[in-house]
Structure 1
Amino acid sequence: MENSIKWGRTRDFFAAQLRAAQMNIYSHFTEWFDDTGLSPKQFAVLYVISLNPEVNQRQLANVHSTERAAFGETLARLEEKGLIERKASKTDKRAKVASVTAKGEDVLKRILIGIDEQERAFTANLNDAERHMLLALLLKVNMPHRES
């Protein structure tokens, strides 16, 4: 008797395919990220700061849905690495604002190039139109569901 397993519709289950893709991509991505010297969370925070110079720390913590203490630790690590600088806000002396340093900009450029390369590798079996369509569909699926 041949050792064959019937899979039925399991290969058609959306959640199973999405989870398999996520696990495959995430494991490679986190291994790659280890070599950058930053965690994915630290990168995300650094990137958002680069797009919003002198952003208020409170605003950043709210965007990243993080407790202020934990978020403060992330900012402290970025500051220790010389990637950001924090100073008192010009408009609210009680608040601190964060900006990316020149070193931080260099690190960001290098990581963004690497992310582009990683994403190309993950989707190597897709053409450009399929790659754009996949991203558009994932963005649509990940939109918060609203009550009608």
Structure 2
Amino acid sequence: MTADPNSLPAPAASPARRGAAEASGVDIAPLAGHIGFLLRLAQQRIFDEFHRRFGALGLTPGRYAVLAVLAANPDIRQVAIANALQIKPPNMAVLVAAMEADGLLQRRLDASNRRANMLRLTEKGAALYAGVAGEIRAMEEEFAARFFPDGRDSLVAALSRILDA
């Protein structure tokens, strides 16, 4: 089989990734040039750091996303958040129940549709969000600076172009 002259060379695996792959005896070289695979690994690396920094607060990326959306959209339907964040309704129900039990949000029945829940941050949830939002943005800046000399804005713009396609 001949090489495709239009294909780009695969990026070299990072030392950490090479080490993990070598230790496991798994050759991941066929995936090294796949955007989706690399995005997933990058997401996992960022989530690992997120858990390291914010796990003691009971915060996960999913919980943070719900807090952020509720801070910007008080009294929003649960299903609207699930749709916006692309969280399956059963998973969203579990997430909301746990966050309600932890006192981070409150839900009430929607007066116009008694089958729907309206969500709002509690004082505790709003304080948690306000206390970590800046730190999370700073963490993202650290990661973005590794990828783009212009930092986070360039990375966000590039990822947004993928989502808009």
Task: State the alpha-carbon separation in 1 of the partners of residues 119 and 40 from structure 2.
Answer: 35
**2:155 maps to 1:139:** no
Specify whether residues 142 and 99 from structure 1 end up closer, same or farther in structure 2 by C-alpha distance, changes over 3 A only: same
Unaligned runs of 5+ in 2: 1-8, 13-32
**2:79 maps to 1:58:** yes
Per the TM alignment, residue 18 of structure 1 is displaced from its structure 2 partner at its CA by 4.9
Letter in 1 for 2:136: I
Specify whether residues 60 and 19 from structure 1 end up closer, same or farther in structure 2 by C-alpha distance, changes over 3 A only: closer
Match of 2:63 among 29, 42, 55: 42
Specify whether residues 116 and 66 from structure 1 end up closer, same or farther in structure 2 by C-alpha distance, changes over 3 A only: closer
Match of 2:52 in 1: 31
Task: State the alpha-carbon separation in 2 of the partners of residues 66 and 31 from structure 1.
Answer: 23
Unaligned runs of 5+ in 1: 1-8
Per the TM alignment, residue 77 of structure 1 is displaced from its structure 2 partner at its CA by 0.9
Per the TM alignment, residue 33 of structure 1 is displaced from its structure 2 partner at its CA by 3.2
Match of 1:103 in 2: 124
Identical-residue share of aligned pairs (%) = 27
- 1:48-88: CA deviation from partner (whole Å, max 9, x where unpaired): 12221111122223333333332111111111111111112
Count of aligned pairs between the two proteins:
136
- Which SS does the other structure have where 1:142 is aligned? helix
Note if contact 1:83-1:101 (Cα within 8 Å) is conserved in structure 2.
yes
- Which SS does the other structure have where 2:141 is aligned? helix
Specify whether residues 66 and 134 from structure 1 end up closer, same or farther in structure 2 by C-alpha distance, changes over 3 A only: closer
- Which SS does the other structure have where 1:93 is aligned? strand
Note if contact 1:83-1:103 (Cα within 8 Å) is conserved in structure 2.
yes
Per the TM alignment, residue 95 of structure 1 is displaced from its structure 2 partner at its CA by 2.3
Per the TM alignment, residue 20 of structure 1 is displaced from its structure 2 partner at its CA by 5.7
Task: State the alpha-carbon separation in 1 of the partners of residues 97 and 58 from structure 2.
Answer: 15
Give the alignment's TM-score, normalised by structure 1: 0.73
Per the TM alignment, residue 97 of structure 1 is displaced from its structure 2 partner at its CA by 0.7
Give the alignment's TM-score, normalised by structure 2: 0.67
Higher relative contact order (CA 8 A, sep 6+): 1
Specify whether residues 78 and 120 from structure 1 end up closer, same or farther in structure 2 by C-alpha distance, changes over 3 A only: same
RMSD, aligned α-carbons: 2.7
